[in-house]
Amino acid sequence: MSSALTIATYNMHKGMSPLNQQVKLDQMAAALKGLSPDVLFLQEVQGQNLKRAQQLPNFPRQPHYQILSEALDCEASYGKNAQYKLRDHGNAILSNLPIITRNNLNITVNQMEQRGVLHCEIQPESWSLPLVCLCAHLNLREPDREKQYQAIYEYINTHINPDSPLILAGDFNDWRRRSCENLGENLGLQEAFACQGNMPKTFPARLPILSLDRVYTRHLDVLAAKSMRGLPWQSLSDHLPLLVKVQPERKIIKQPQNKSQSH
């Protein structure tokens, strides 16, 4: 049995096209299913938007993470970050393995941008330790992100087993690569695309010029990493997804039991 996992991260723009003119949730579901991810990190996931549902006949009232989990036949966990009178959105983690939700960390630093980090864990059968999954969405302003880097740093240092395999992925809004310095160096995280030299450009989807999305790993080997460009992605969200294949370091893979020693 392979110990490798395919993970993807995607800012799904609340299920809408880049300019908010069309509902694209069904097309997103089909495209994401085509990637066959084992674990999916999602940002800007619509929990509900009653006003938009009244205005657009094909906008679903059902939470988008539920629709996607049914379409992809997997489990889902939702972290509600931004909550208003008739709508809410946040991060979600979907997995084809059982999910244990640990926490939804509030990293909001101003009420204009309500942000969070969703912490879930999954246990692949051949791994001796669970995979820690942290799905993040950070602010637009760099001074705000500096505070959020510190909050993430303190959370990982305080609440995460330093020996556990870990993925921190999401929309960092970080075109200056400061997250690499603040998180990578301080926490021993590896940027999944570092071996390629340049960070993938993921925004705007039709003509990407900014590198906003990230995948960081710890105690994992990156086997492959790519951004999904072109159709259908450029006509769906305003971001492009990232796809990364990882496997745990050798010490995390369960060793076969010696039959002569079993009873």
Rg of the chain taking only CA atoms, in angstroms: 18
102 within a domain of the structure (yes/no) = yes
257 within a domain of the structure (yes/no) = no
SS3 of 112, please? Answer: coil
Q: What are phi and psi of 41, to 5 degrees?
A: -100, 120
Q: Domain holding 117: CATH number?
A: 3.60.10.10
- Interacting residues of 102 by C-beta distance below 8 A, sequence separation 6+: 119, 120, 121, 159
**Average pLDDT, integer, range 230-253:** 96
Q: What are phi and psi of 127, to 5 degrees?
A: -100, 140
Classify residue 261 as left (phi > 0), alpha (psi -120 to 50) or beta: alpha
113 within a domain of the structure (yes/no) = yes
User: CB atoms < 10 A from the CB of 86, how many?
Assistant: 11
What total of structural domains would you count in the chain?
A: 1
42 touches 12 (CB < 8 A)? yes
Nearest to 136 by CA among 101, 89, 104, 110: 104
Q: What's the pLDDT at 236?
A: 97
256 within a domain of the structure (yes/no) = no
Domain enclosing residue 19, as ranges: 5-249
Tokens of 62: 């059902």
262 within a domain of the structure (yes/no) = no
254 within a domain of the structure (yes/no) = no
181 touches 209 (CB < 8 A)? no
Q: What is the tens place of the pLDDT at every residue in 100-155?
A: 999 999 999 998 899 999 999 999 999 999 999 999 999 999 999 999 999 999 99
Band of pLDDT at residue 255, cut at 50, 70 and 90: confident
79 within a domain of the structure (yes/no) = yes
